[in-house]
Every structure is written in C-alpha cells, then in structure tokens.
A = this chain, B = another copy of it.
Amino acid sequence: MPGTPPARYVYLGPEGTFTEAALRTLPAAERGVRTPARSVPEALEAVRAGDADAALVPLENSVGGAIPVTLDELVTGSPLVITREVVLPVEFVLAARRPTPLDQVRTVAAHPQASAQCRNWLLAHLPDAVVVDVLSNAAAAIAAAAGEFDAALCAPIGVPRNRLTVLADKVADHADAVTRFALLTRPGPATEPTGDDVTSLAVSIRHDQVGALLAVLTELSVRGVNLSRIESRPTGEQLGTYFFFLDCTGHVAEARMGEALQGLHRICAEVRFLGSYPRHRLTREDPVPSPPGLSDADFADSEAWLARLRSGSL
C-alpha cells in the first residue's frame, strides 16, 4: 500500500548504540520491528534481499568524518536510496556499575573513536586511568556492567540497558558534535520536494583532478546548485581514482537539479543517485530560496522562450 511506512527496520548494531537511539526518533520505526545488524554491509544486504524494508546506518560524524564502509556500500551492489536523514547530537557519558569517585576510576573501556572524541576530558579528569580499546560503545557498557573495567565511555542509551550509573555526562570535547544517519530503502518514485531538501550523489571522475573536479562544480554552479558536503573516496581500484560524495541543496524533481544531474551524467564516468530527501535541522532555520533566475518558474519560462525561437514566433 503506497504511503505505508516501512514496517521492518534493520540498523547497525549492537543494541544500545547511537544508531538505535537515532532510529527510535522516527515514529514509524518506533511502531515497527527493529533488528540490529552486525555490520553496515549486513544491514544493507537485508534491504537489498527484501528481508527488511529500510536500514538506518551512520553516514557522517562531525568529529570522525564520513563512515567509509557506508559510502563504499552505497556505490557497489544494487542501488539503494536515502529517503530520510537523522541528525543526532553525540553525547557521551562515563558510566559504571555503581557510584564511584572519579579518582578511583583506574580502567575505562572505550571504543577508540569514543576515547578520541573525549580525549581532552579524559586528560583533565582521569589523567591516570588506563583507557582500554573495545570494539563498540555497547561493548564498553557491557564490559563495565560485567565488572571487567571500572567504567565505560558509552552512549546514554547504554546506561539503563546495562543498569549502569552515570559518573559524568557531556564528556565529549566538542559540545556540538553530531552524527548523521541515513535511512536507506530500495528505489521508488521521487517524493515531492519540501523546499528544503538534499540530493545525495556519488560521482566518479578520472585522472586530472583539478580539471575534472572544476568541471563537476561548474555543472552545479551554472544551475545554482550548492553543496552542503563533499567527500572523496578512492574507488578501491587504485590511489588517484575517486568517487566524490556530494550533498546538494535541492530535489531531483526540481528543474535546476534535473538539468545539473543531466550535465553530470554527460561528463562523469559514473553518477550514482543516492536520493532526494528533506533536510533534518536540529534548529529551525529558513530554507534558502532558489537563486534569482533559477526557480522552476524561470526554467519553464526559458523553455517556453526557446520553443518560440524554434517556431519563429520572436
């Protein structure tokens, strides 16, 4: 039934990490079935195989950068598209089995990215503690709950799930750090533009980077399409050949985005369309209007003008 929200969700597990917390911000997911996957490839494979309707996976972290495995999965295998983005503030807590003064915390379990994001806090408050790498934020919480370490750096969602006590909250060095997640589904007809949309693309270009990248940016710029993000990834073939992941302002159903996409299709070795979807803003901001001369009405007007030229009705 069209319009029915997906019912079977898969997400990057294990349970108790930021991805689960992000998924639960979506009302439809809160009502649906939610299954953790061992890895991003496994999550996407479930959607590709039809075993799940949608997968939520991390896309980008304001501190750690793009999540390479997600980008790589998006440009290989059968196409998937982003239909939603979820931006979630990253808040780490230091948690333990029982209330403990900080000066008695001697060992801390932490995923390497978590300890990297809390490095200054750890140096200031736990200068003598030994930080031990573990394989996920959830694993850190579980290990602390099992008594293997005095404390864990973990996500707030890991605290009640493992019956931990918070020793300190907001311990991340960057107060504004966020993670951006993508909800991926099998392709379907384009949704309606909302006026504040993002279109994600992966374009592969060859050889002469300056010239080729200038050409890509010029195709966008001429149609007034702006970028909110650009990431380069090697294609896996050799150093020096890249996919560029572009987040463009606008929607595939809009005229200027359509013309820009056609231009990229003509000049790039490959263009993968990764979806048009509403921008998720943590704070209310007015969407940027079309640049002068580049609205759908302007395109319709220029098309009608050309038709008159061609028919001789000057």
Query: What is the interface of chain A, defined by CB distance below 8 A to chain B?
Result: 41, 60-66, 68-69, 79, 81, 87, 112, 116, 119, 133, 135, 174, 176-178, 180, 187-190, 208-211, 213-214, 217-222, 225-234, 236-240, 242, 252-253, 258-259, 261-263, 265-267, 273, 293-294, 298-299, 301-303, 305-306, 309-314
| Of the residues B63, B266, B293, contact of A298 by C-beta under 8 Å | B266
**This chain: copies in complex:** 4
| Of the residues B64, B237, B305, B311, contact of A265 by C-beta under 8 Å | B305
Which one of A62, A220, A311 has the greatest number of beta carbons of chain B within 10 Å? A62
Cross-chain contact A209 with B229 (CB below 8 angstroms): yes
Tell me the smallest distance from the CB of A213 to a CB of chain B, in Å.
6
Cross-chain contact B253 with A266 (CB below 8 angstroms): no
Give Cα A235 to B188, complex, Å.
35
Chain B residues near A135 (CB, 8 Å)? 112, 133, 135
Give Cα A305 to B233, complex, Å.
24
| Of the residues B119, B262, B309, contact of A261 by C-beta under 8 Å | B309
| Of the residues B65, B238, B265, contact of A233 by C-beta under 8 Å | B65
Give Cα A293 to B212, complex, Å.
14
Interface pairs (7), CB distance under 8 Å:
A65-B233, A209-B229, A213-B230, A258-B306, A262-B302, A265-B302, A266-B299
Chain B residue at smallest Cβ distance from A227: B209
Q: A62-B238, A190-B312, A265-B302 are in contact. List 5 more A-B contacts (CB 8 A).
A: A60-B234, A209-B230, A213-B227, A252-B309, A262-B305
Chain B residues near A311 (CB, 8 Å)? 189-190
Chain B residue at smallest Cβ distance from A222: B222
Give Cα A299 to B228, complex, Å.
27
Cross-chain contact A189 with B310 (CB below 8 angstroms): yes
Give Cα A147 to B262, complex, Å.
57
Cross-chain contact B189 with A263 (CB below 8 angstroms): no
